[in-house]
A and B are shown apart, each in its own frame.
Chain A
Amino acid sequence: MSLARRLAASVREDAYNAATAPARAYDHARYTVEGMRTGEVDPTEVAKTVLITLGALAVVSAMLYPIYYVFIAALQGEGATLYSPGSDLFVPSEPTLEAFLWVIGDIAVSSYEIAVTIPATGYDIVVQTPAIELLDVSDYGVERTSDFPLYLKNSLYVALVTVTVGLALVVPGAYVLSRRQFVGRMKVLYGYVLFTQIGGGLGIAALIALYLIFVNMGWTNSRFMLGLYYAAVAVPFNTWLLKTYMDSIPVSYEEAAIMDGASPARVAWEVVLPLAKPGLATVLIFIFLAGWTEFVIANLMLEQQFQTLPVGLYALIGDYTIPWGRFSAFALCFAFPIVLVYLFAQRYIESGLSFGGMEG
């Protein structure tokens, strides 16, 4: 509860900062202009700053242009193409949300029948809840909708397994690797560092055997096993990451808690874990994304009705053409939540990533 509240407060603060940024920039600019008029600020210095800032903005815009381009394509609806001379490069001429409606589909709560038998009287009370239709896309001319909701459901299921199992495997391991001594500790750490680098590609290298194992065990089409797989391969990198983060937490806090008579489990739970929150957030996001965005293995293992969002996205690509409008809208609906999480979690990601072995 308090965690949720703190998270909400932090998001609110970020949003407030983002919203008031233009006002602050305006104040700053006015102050500078004022300074130039009174001769306190050298105009050439200001010009240099403005030019360099504009240059940096240009570089950032150029790097992000492909994403913007996709956004434009999504707004052009079904007829969008990236190939025609008329397709817009910067501003969509006739923006339409049709492609997004196609992705989302109808939003409706179907009607349920609730039957209650009153004991001893034999009477039944039957209540029919009304169907609530929040959005009917056929009103907007979209007849057949995408399978996005199905893929989303599958992806959420897989991600739930991945994150739950992944955190259960990573957090205790990282804690004892950081704080305790035991036989084989160095070997485990060394092995984890090695696999940290090799990561995802080894998954594809082992794909042939993995596929044969899954087929033999009857695990193909099992979203649960797929989630388990993502969690398992995320272990080395994330354990290492969290371990190095925990290493940076001073031991003196724990010593104080032990002096006060706290049990080892309580020290871990109430001292180390709260202090390791930025590291935990980083690890949570990495574990989540490992499964959320994985394509190759999901594509190979799952049949259509179990497929996850990346596979669904790939399925939109035809042999000769890509329906860019729909593809872009689908992709943006898929990626946008991740980007939002990223933006808000970024300070944690950065502090979590700048871990021990990497600083000069």
Chain B
Amino acid sequence: MSAISGAVQRSRSGYEAAVPETVQRWLDRNGSLLLVLPGLFAFATFMLFPLVFTLFISFTDATSATIFQGAQSFATVEIFGLSLPFGNYVKLYADPQFWTSFGITWLFVATSVGLKVGLGVFIAMILTGDRVRGKRWMRAIVIIPLGLPGIFTITVWSGIFSSARFGLMNRFLSAFGAGPINWLQGSRWMAFLAYNVTEMWLAYPFMVIITVSALQAVPAELHDAAKVDGAGYLHRFWHVTVPAIKRPVLFAAILTAAASFQQFLIPFIFNQGGPSRNNELIILYGYKEAFQQYQYGYGAAIMLTAVFFIGIFMWINVKKGRLAEGVDDE
């Protein structure tokens, strides 16, 4: 015991002799930073650095033939007599396929977020209802889809939306006398609808968890007081429940909007963004350019455009939604 403390003492005095006093003082104050740095460093290596590297690639004409030899050159374009490396971007914004992808991506964000929030709050309301028996068990099993791998659920849903006459969705329709629909390869909007339904199903457990915990935080006295004042169910929902759950649900909606914007697997598995490239959500568009056409430079330009828009979108949301409030709490 004393040997150990002696060793510690010796190393301590060695440390004091070797390290300048200013550094020592800084370390005493900020030494905890050292425990954050490994995580920051790992994240920077695998996420920030690739993003910066993507920026570089987007300025080049990198393809599978050039990039591995280091033989890529800048994709230049003449602007005001200057030769600038924005060739990919100029080409991209003149490409109608880009605007198709861009438009359908934002439309998908709008529709799917509406559906997700609606369904999530609906289920959460049901599963916290006073009259529902066994709601704890139902809550436990209703979030099972959260635990299922995305690749699994999305493939299953692509089977459900099979164009075959006896695909599950077509069987369901035929019960109402509607004919079989070629969901994924027929009409653009049927495929889009299929995307939305799937996205809704993928995200509802998350919305339910958040909303349930918010609903449980609403004091019962508020409801009782409103009841005593003679408020009806809808009135209570609008004036007691909604204000109480607004912020958590907004938070969840923002997170899930980000997920929708970056949705990749659903169009990738369903029909590769078809029919005829109409539903290529923007990340899939970039992926296909890079890994199916081997136009790495062009693909990188698409990806960065997506990152740029999502960055602005997220930044506004952090500011408006006061998401970072917890940061300022001491």
**B217 and A359 contacting across the interface, CB-CB below 8 Å:** yes
- The answer, yes or no, to whether B162 is at the interface (CB within 8 Å) is yes
**B162 and A83 contacting across the interface, CB-CB below 8 Å:** yes
Contact of A293 among B51, B131, B151, B328 (CB under 8 A): B151
Q: Mark B290-310, 1 if CB is under 8 A from A, else 0.
A: 110000100110011011001
Q: Mark B250-275, 1 if CB is under 8 A from A, else 0.
A: 01101100110111110010000000
Contact of A206 among B50, B148, B153, B213 (CB under 8 A): B50
Interface residues of B (CB under 8 A from A): 29-33, 35-36, 38-40, 42-43, 45-47, 49-54, 56-57, 62, 67-68, 123, 126-127, 129, 131-135, 137-138, 140-153, 155-157, 159-160, 162, 164-168, 171, 201, 204, 209-210, 212-214, 217-218, 244-248, 251-252, 254-255, 258-259, 261-265, 268, 283, 286-287, 290-291, 296, 299-300, 303-304, 306-307, 310-311, 314-315, 317-318, 323-329
Which residues of A lie under 8 Å from residue B311 when comparing CB positions? 198
Which residues of B lie under 8 Å from residue A48 when comparing CB positions? 131
Residues 283-332 (chain A) with a chain B CB within 8 angstroms: 289, 292-293, 295-296, 300, 309-310, 313-314, 317, 322, 324, 327-328, 331
Q: Mark A338-356, 1 if CB is under 8 A from B, else 0.
A: 1101110010011001111
Which residues of B lie under 8 Å from residue A132 when comparing CB positions? none
A175, A210, A216, most chain B CB atoms within 10 A: A210
Given A193-B324, A206-B47, decide whether A82 and B264 contact each other with a Cβ distance below 8 A.
no
Which residues of B lie under 8 Å from residue A331 when comparing CB positions? 149, 152, 155-156
What total of A-B pairs shows CB separation below 8 Å?
A: 317
- The answer, yes or no, to whether A207 is at the interface (CB within 8 Å) is yes
Which residues of B lie under 8 Å from residue A322 when comparing CB positions? 155, 159
Smallest distance from the beta carbon of A115 to chain B beta carbons, Å?
A: 44
Apart from the given pairs A173-B38, A206-B51, A313-B155, 10 other A-B contacts in the complex at a CB distance below 8 Å: A53-B133, A60-B123, A63-B142, A66-B156, A183-B33, A188-B36, A200-B259, A233-B47, A357-B324, A360-B246
**A180 and B32 contacting across the interface, CB-CB below 8 Å:** yes
Task: Report the separation of the CA atoms of residues A180 and B311 in the bound assembly, to the nearest whole angstrom.
Answer: 29
Residues 169-190 (chain A) with a chain B CB within 8 angstroms: 169-170, 172-173, 175-177, 180-186, 188-190
The size class of the interface chain A forms with chain B is: 35 or more
Task: Report the separation of the CA atoms of residues A70 and B149 in the bound assembly, to the nearest whole angstrom.
Answer: 14
Closest partner residue, chain A, to B291 (CB atom): A300
Closest partner residue, chain B, to A200 (CB atom): B262
**A335 and B53 contacting across the interface, CB-CB below 8 Å:** no
**B327 and A186 contacting across the interface, CB-CB below 8 Å:** yes
**A342 and B146 contacting across the interface, CB-CB below 8 Å:** yes
Given A293-B150, A324-B159, decide whether A188 and B40 contact each other with a Cβ distance below 8 A.
yes
Closest partner residue, chain B, to A186 (CB atom): B327
Task: Report the separation of the CA atoms of residues A245 and B150 in the bound assembly, to the nearest whole angstrom.
Answer: 27
Task: Report the separation of the CA atoms of residues A289 and B145 in the bound assembly, to the nearest whole angstrom.
Answer: 13
Task: Report the separation of the CA atoms of residues A343 and B148 in the bound assembly, to the nearest whole angstrom.
Answer: 12
Contact of B296 among A190, A208, A328, A353 (CB under 8 A): A208
